[in-house]
Amino acid sequence: MTSTRLVQYLRPFVAPMLGGLLLAALASAATVGYAGAVKLLVGSVQDKSLSELGVALATALGLNVLKNSSQYFSGYTLMSVGQQVVRKIRGDLFARIQYFSLPTFDKWRAGDILSRFSNDMNILVEGVSALPLFVTAALTLVAGLVFMVYLNWQLTLVTMAVAPLVVWAVYTFSGLLRRATTVALNRIADLNSMLQESLESARIIKAFTREPYEIARFEDRNAANFGASMKLAQISLTQTPVIDVAVMVGVLILAGFALFQVIAGTLTPTNFFMFFTVTTTVANPISQLSNYIGSLNKAYAAATRVFELMDLPIEVDEPDKHELRDVRGAVEFNDVHFSYDGVRDVLKGITARVAPGEIVALVGPSGSGKTTLVNLVPRFYEPTAGAVVVDGEDVSGVRLSSLRHAIAIVPQDPQLFSDTIEENIRYGRLDATPAEIEAAAKLANAHEFISRMPAGYATLVGSRGLRLSGGERQRIAIARAILRDPRILILDEATSSLDAHSEALIGEALDHLLVGRTTFIIAHRLSTIRRATMILVLDEGRIVEHGTHDDLIRLSGLYASLYERQMLEATPTPAT
């Protein structure tokens, strides 16, 4: 429940909230106290007394100062509580997002997550900002009602005749507002997702000259968002007048009835004015309240969406699980099955045994499940059946951090952070010295091109490293992996975007890198595969052949035919 979650976030702030409420109560009392000043004022006019007038004016001024200063401090206190809650929720949300599991990232659009993180949180902030005003208005209302009952309970009762109508209106509009807000926030998330995806795919859009297509697609969603926003505005804008009319009707009933009492002589004109002043101080907060309740309802809808994001599955690293220590790097796949969608099996019973330090090449047509298989080793995904075992332990039973500490991955399209080359390499081991970073870069054959850059290791690589070529990015990723010094190394087409010359140089670096480590190499080039002590040939999620290059050529099976069809190139051809 959203409300219980919000209460949990508010719990640490009970003391400042009570202080803020107390100050708000003081402000409300001062506001209602105006009626007393009015009484003094009327009295001074009746008595034609200047001194009484002075007292009346001083009282009014004093009450005004009291009201404004307590309102300021109450507002400041409550606002600080609200902002601290928002900060805590944001921090928690960011932390949750870091631990989202990969299946979660596969399912959720980045733009949607971004939108909830910024847009929905801003709506929550707006609701929080309305909170102090809401509290002041509510307390003023209560204080005013108490005072009204004290002055004349019969009149109060008459005025209250419209209360059920007001309550009904607030209740109905709350539901409408929450639903409309949810729809509007969804539509904005659509817009954000589209922008985010078009930024990521800028090159593709240009290459296919699909700018007009994207613009037209955006226009559709933009229109949908406009519709949702106007629907929301319509509901918000209707609420206040409806409630205002109801309140006005109440005041009119009161005026008629009071006049009746004055004529009958049961109500003095002074009391009539006082009662009327209090009624207007009560009518005011009612219309304000309907506004603030609107903001709070929008905030509630936004908070529900934020908590929905916060409740997505994360990778739990249970502290009671066993720590993998001094990993040797023995990896076994025991009849591993895997499916991304629960319908189609991508891996259909993989069984293999890899000794520590062994170099395994995974070969097979694209889509055969090579990347999926190696992604199970760091437990990016969990097998649907069977087990992945490292050093004799099922990886699902060990602490995730200890498992991943032992592994380094160089993916096909390495992602760099928008930072310097040095910091990007250091990501492999945060306490590495500049000398160690340079040594790793040398081993990865990256030192030379880095030195040629005007700013050397301090060169900024741009967003996602896009200022570097694919081959340069890969060499930085390899340097990062070298620095990590892992027991298990996964190279997923890590050298595929290197040209023949760099590939040969990287080959030497790999020879250093691979010594004593269990390595999985997914590659197409024979020069890389030749380093393997074992080749596993995958096809449609099954291991169809295994052995050395020579064994497999002799077998004249899939490997031999891939080799013949030049999918495993004997001589590397220049790539990007």
Ligand X SMILES: Nc1ncnc2c1ncn2[C@@H]1O[C@H](COP(=O)(O)OP(=O)(O)O)[C@@H](O)[C@H]1O
Q: Which residues bind ligand X (CB under 6 A)?
A: 106, 340, 346, 364, 366-372
Under a CB-based contact definition with an 8 Å cutoff, are residues 31 and 65 in contact? no
Q: Which option in Mg ion, ligand X, none does residue 4 bind, with CB closer than 5 to 8 A by kind?
A: none
CA angle 106, 110, 116 (to 5 degrees): 125
Please identify, among the stretches 271-279, 340-348, 367-375, 415-423, the one whose residues bind Mg ion according to the rule CB under 5 A.
Answer: 367-375
Q: Which residue is nearest to Mg ion (CB)?
A: 371
Closest contact distance (angstroms) between CB of 193 and ligand X is: 18
**Contact between residue 124 and residue 83 where contact means Cβ atoms under 8 Å apart:** no
Q: Which stretch binds Mg ion (CB under 5 A): 232-240, 262-270, 366-374, 444-452?
A: 366-374
Q: How many residues bind Mg ion (CB under 5 A)?
A: 1
Shortest Å distance, C-beta 345 to ligand X = 10
For ligand X, the closer of residues 172 and 566 by Cβ is 566
| 100: β partners | 314
Q: Considering only 87-95, 369-377, 420-428, 563-571, which stretch makes contact with Mg ion by CB under 5 A?
A: 369-377
Q: Which residues are bridge partners to 338 per DSSP?
A: 347
- Tell me the closest approach of the beta carbon of residue 385 to ligand X, in angstroms: 16
Pick 85 or 523: Cβ nearer ligand X: 523
Please state the closest distance from residue 343 (CB atom) to ligand X, in A.
Answer: 10
5-13, 330-338, 368-376, 389-397 -> range binding Mg ion (CB under 5 A) = 368-376
371 is an interface residue for Mg ion by CB under 5 A: yes
**What does 549 interact with, of Mg ion, ligand X, none (CB < 5 to 8 A by kind)?**
none
Return the sign of the alpha-carbon dihedral for residues 361, 366, 372, 378. Answer: positive
Distance of closest approach, residue 305 Cβ to Mg ion, in angstroms: 34
Rg of the chain, C-alpha, whole Å: 35
Residue (342 or 454) nearer to ligand X, CB = 342
In degrees and rounded to multiples of 5, residue 517 shows phi and psi of -110, 145
For residues 495 and 472, the answer to whether their CB atoms sit within 8 Å is: no
Distance CA 140, CA 148 (A): 12
Looking at the Cβ atoms of 432 and 523, the one nearer to ligand X is 523
Looking from the CA of 379 toward its CB, the CA atoms found within 13 Å total 24
Q: Which helix (H) or strand (E) holds 492?
A: strand 488-492
Q: Which residues, at least 6 apart from 500, have a Cβ–Cβ distance to it below 8 Å?
A: 571, 572, 573, 574
What whole-number distance in Å separates Cα of residue 502 and Cα of residue 303?
Answer: 52
Nearer to ligand X among residue 160 and residue 314 (C-beta):
314
Residue whose CB is less far from ligand X, 16 or 365: 365
C-beta of 106 vs 220, nearer to ligand X? 106
Q: Which does 428 bind (CB under 5 to 8 A by kind): ligand X, Mg ion, none?
A: none
Between residues 429 and 542, which has the closer beta carbon with respect to Mg ion? Answer: 542
The site partner of 507 among ligand X, Mg ion, none (C-beta below 5 to 8 Å per kind) is: none
Question: Based on the number of CB atoms within 10 Å of its own CB, is 464 exposed (0-12), middle (13-18) or buried (19 or more)?
Answer: middle
What number of CA atoms fall less than 13 Å from residue 409's CA on the CB side?
17
What track of x and - describes contact with Mg ion for positions 497 through 526 (by CB under 5 A)?
Answer: ------------------------------
Residue 106 contacts which entry, Mg ion, ligand X, none (Cβ below 5-8 A, type-dependent):
ligand X
| Greatest C-alpha distance within the chain | 121
Token representation of residue 25: 């109560």
Least spacing, CB of residue 538 vs Mg ion, in Å = 10
The minimum distance between CB 370 and ligand X, in angstroms, equals 3
Could you give the C-alpha distances from 67 to 19, 62, 72, 287, in angstroms and in order?
Answer: 15, 8, 9, 20
Position 388: which residue type?
V
Tokens matching residue 110 = 């980045």
For residues 182 and 368, which CB has a smaller minimum distance to ligand X in the complex?
368
* Cα–Cα distance, 132 to 231 (Å, whole number): 27
Give the residue with the Cβ less far from ligand X, 213 or 340.
340
Q: From the CB of 465, what's the least distance to ligand X, in Å?
A: 22
Nearest CB to Mg ion, comparing residues 81 and 362: 362
| Rounded-to-integer distance, Cα 249 and Cα 234, Å | 23
What does each C-alpha distance from 164 to 159, 161, 170, 250 come to in angstroms?
11, 7, 10, 11
Q: Report the nearest approach of ligand X to the CB of residue 368 (Å).
A: 4
Q: Which amino acid is at 294?
A: G
- The CB-of-540 to ligand X minimum distance in angstroms stands at 9
Name the minimum Å distance from CB 360 to ligand X: 14
Residue numbers at the binding site for Mg ion (CB under 5 A) = 371
